[in-house]
């Protein structure tokens, strides 16, 4: 007979092995030693009785579990069943559907809100000569409005080459602040003048 | 036959419970006695019917074995209490998934083993000390023998804590909880032969570890 396999050894330890297995365990030195070694470790382990829980610990456990359970949703409620996945016909992908829909709706709402922030009503009053209010020009950006490009160029020139010249301080952004300090009418007039300047055929920056 | 009895019990409780006088979160002694008479499967059905008191009875029945299982994994009373609470809470939340194929005790053990193996790191230092061991009995063995026994118990716990996860779970369920191999296989989701093989390797490693300790 071959040597005992692990399951046979455990059966011998449990005392429920067949006669052939028991006979081999008694006659084979190697298997007998193995059984004896494992019997020793079983006895050592079993000798550790563990600690009895302190007095009143079990009642405390019941109280703690009871409190936690009463705060939890009823395991028989439909949404608890849905959440735990035990509702027949609902697998994990179907359970993800409402959550995914909620995420999509949130993203759409956030996108709409973000777009809305760029569409504030301009403060400008009367618009002279059909020219857009200065603030709208500023919002639309340099790639759209030529007049803004001129102002930016002037500001850059002042900052780089004439730091002490004129009434403008020689710092970057000074022209922007100067434009901001103008009244609505003055800004409209400035925009008109700049546009007229640009319309001249020999205008250069 | 048993199902019929369980059904009767549920019906009886279904009629009985609406009239139960509940005061300060408790139930009358008559209803508590009725709950105590119910088997586990019936308690589960009553609980799923919205009666949390039935789960209290389940906890009362299985709290000691669940606690001792957890204690064997962590070796500290406070941690064992926390883990036991977690086991019962998870059981409550997943109560509808209990189909009754296995006993409720087996199902709770399965949850307990998973919770313990997940929350107790393999590298966690086993915190058992001589103070945690069983007290020395006044009579019977000598003081020297008692100290030696406690010291060996601490070594065994430390060696068990170092076993691979499945071997440790198998050893605890078999040696300390004294469960049959078939139930252990059901708890660990393996075959009975695999459970026996796990026990064999656990005992072999335990022997090796304890012998190594003794040699030092």
**SS3 call for A165:** coil
Domain count, chain A: 2
Q: Is residue A74 part of a domain?
A: no
pLDDT in tens, B127-147: 444 445 445 444 566 788 888
Looking from the CA of B151 toward its CB, the CA atoms found within 13 Å total 8
- Which one of B203, B206, B209 makes the best mutation probe of the A interface by having the most chain A beta carbons within 10 Å? B203
Q: Is residue B199 part of a domain?
A: no
Other C-beta atoms lying within 10 Å of the C-beta of residue A196: 11
The pLDDT > 70 percentage for chain A reads 60
Q: Is residue A24 part of a domain?
A: yes
Pick from B175, B193, B204: CB nearest A46: B175
pLDDT band of B14, cuts 50, 70, 90:
very low
CATH number at residue B106: 1.10.1740.10
pLDDT band of B93, cuts 50, 70, 90:
very high
Domain count, chain B: 1
Which of A5-9, A75-79, B32-36, B72-76 has the highest mean predicted lDDT (pLDDT)? A5-9
List helix spans (H) across chain A. Answer: 6-14, 19-27, 29-47, 57-71, 78-84, 92-116, 134-140, 146-161, 174-181, 184-199
Q: Is residue A183 part of a domain?
A: yes
Higher-confidence residue: A158 or A3?
A3
- Distance (Å, whole) CA B167 – CA B159: 12
- Distance (Å, whole) CA A151 – CA A197: 12
Instruction: Give the chain A residue whose CA is nearest to the CA of B69.
Output: A50
pTM above 0.80, yes or no: no
- The pLDDT of residue A92 is 52
pLDDT in tens, B149-175: 778 888 888 889 889 999 999 999 999
Q: Is residue B86 part of a domain?
A: yes
**SS3 call for A72:** coil
Q: Residue B110 belongs to what domain range?
A: 27-126
Look up residue B20 and give its two tokens.
């139960």
Distance, in angstroms, between A106 CA and closest chain B CA? 29
Residues B11, B42: contact at Cβ < 8 Å?
A: no
pLDDT in tens, A117-151: 655 555 544 444 455 555 554 555 555 566 777 76
Q: Is residue B121 part of a domain?
A: yes
Cα–Cα distances (Å) from A39 to A22, A35, A45, B200, B203, in that order, read 14, 6, 10, 10, 9
- The pLDDT of residue A11 is 94
Q: Is residue A40 part of a domain?
A: yes
Q: Is residue B181 part of a domain?
A: no
- Distance (Å, whole) CA B28 – CA B31: 5
Average pLDDT over all residues of chain A: 74
Higher-confidence residue: B205 or B101?
B205
- The pLDDT of residue A82 is 56
Residues A34, A9: contact at Cβ < 8 Å?
A: yes
pLDDT in tens, A171-201: 667 778 888 888 888 888 888 888 888 888 7
Contact state of A84 with B52 under an 8 Å Cβ cutoff: no
- The pLDDT of residue B12 is 47
Cα–Cα distances (Å) from A46 to A64, B14, B134, B140, in that order, read 31, 45, 13, 19
Distance, in angstroms, between A100 CA and closest chain B CA? 24
Residues A156, A174: contact at Cβ < 8 Å?
A: no
Contact state of B93 with A6 under an 8 Å Cβ cutoff: no
Q: Is the pLDDT of residue B11 over 90?
A: no
Cα–Cα distances (Å) from B51 to A136, B23, B29, B56, B109, in that order, read 66, 15, 16, 10, 23
pLDDT band of B122, cuts 50, 70, 90:
very low
Q: Residue A13 belongs to what domain range?
A: 6-46
- Distance (Å, whole) CA B110 – CA B101: 13
Instruction: Give the chain B residue whose CA is nearest to the CA of A70.
Output: B52
Residues B203, B156: contact at Cβ < 8 Å?
A: no
Pick from A42, A66, A86: CB nearest B175: A42
- The pLDDT of residue A138 is 52
Residues B161, B213: contact at Cβ < 8 Å?
A: no
Distance, in angstroms, between B137 CA and closest chain A CA? 13
Distance, in angstroms, between B32 CA and closest chain A CA? 15
- Distance (Å, whole) CA A83 – CA A73: 10
- Distance (Å, whole) CA B13 – CA B44: 12
Look up residue A154 and give its two tokens.
């002037």
Q: How far is CA A10 from the centre of its chain?
A: 52
- The pLDDT of residue A101 is 84
Q: Is residue B169 part of a domain?
A: no
Q: Is the pLDDT of residue B4 over 70?
A: no
Q: What kind and span of H or E run contains A69?
A: helix A57-71
Average pLDDT over all residues of chain B: 80
- The pLDDT of residue B215 is 45
Pick from B93, B152, B203: CB nearest A47: B152
């Amino acid at each position: 007979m071959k040597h005992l396999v692990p399951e046979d050894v455990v059966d011998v330890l449990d005392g429920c092995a067949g006669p052939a297995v028991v006979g081999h365990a008694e006659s084979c030195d190697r298997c007998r030693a193995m059984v004896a070694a494992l019997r020793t470790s079983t006895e050592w382990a079993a000798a550790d009785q563990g600690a009895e829980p302190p007095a009143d610990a079990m009642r405390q456990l019941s109280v703690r579990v009871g409190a936690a359970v009463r705060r939890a949703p009823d395991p028989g409620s439909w949404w608890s069943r849905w959440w735990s996945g035990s509702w027949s016909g609902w697998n994990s992908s179907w359970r993800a559907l409402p959550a995914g829909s909620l995420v999509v709706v949130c993203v759409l709402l956030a996108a709409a809100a973000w777009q809305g922030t760029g569409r504030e009503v301009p403060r400008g009053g009367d618009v002279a000569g059909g020219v857009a209010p200065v603030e709208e020009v500023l919002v639309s950006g340099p790639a759209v409005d030529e007049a803004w490009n001129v102002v930016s160029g002037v500001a850059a020139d002042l900052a780089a080459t004439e730091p002490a010249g004129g009434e403008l301080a020689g710092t970057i952004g000074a022209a922007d602040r100067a434009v901001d300090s103008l009244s609505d009418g003055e800004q409209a007039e400035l925009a008109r003048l700049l546009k007229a300047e640009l319309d001249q055929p020999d205008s250069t920056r | 036959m048993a199902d019929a009895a369980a059904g009767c019990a549920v019906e009886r409780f279904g009629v009985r419970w609406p009239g139960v006088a509940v005061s300060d979160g408790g139930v009358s002694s008559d209803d508590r006695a009725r709950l105590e008479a119910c088997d586990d499967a019936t308690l589960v059905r009553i609980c799923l019917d919205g009666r949390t008191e039935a789960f209290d009875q389940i906890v009362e029945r299985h709290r000691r074995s669940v606690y001792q299982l957890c204690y064997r994994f962590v070796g500290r009373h406070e941690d064992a209490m926390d883990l036991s609470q977690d086991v019962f809470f998870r059981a409550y939340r997943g109560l509808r998934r209990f189909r009754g194929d296995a006993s409720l005790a087996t199902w709770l053990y399965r949850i307990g083993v998973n919770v313990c193996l997940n929350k107790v790191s393999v590298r966690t230092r086993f915190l058992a000390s001589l103070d945690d061991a069983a007290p020395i009995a006044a009579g019977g063995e000598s003081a020297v023998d008692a100290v030696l026994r406690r010291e060996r118990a601490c070594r065994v716990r430390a060696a068990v804590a170092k076993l691979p996860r499945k071997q440790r779970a198998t050893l605890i369920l078999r040696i300390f909880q004294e469960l049959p191999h078939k139930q252990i296989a059901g708890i660990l989701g393996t075959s009975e032969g695999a459970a026996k093989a796990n026990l064999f390797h656990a005992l072999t490693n335990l022997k090796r570890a304890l012998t190594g300790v003794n040699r030092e």
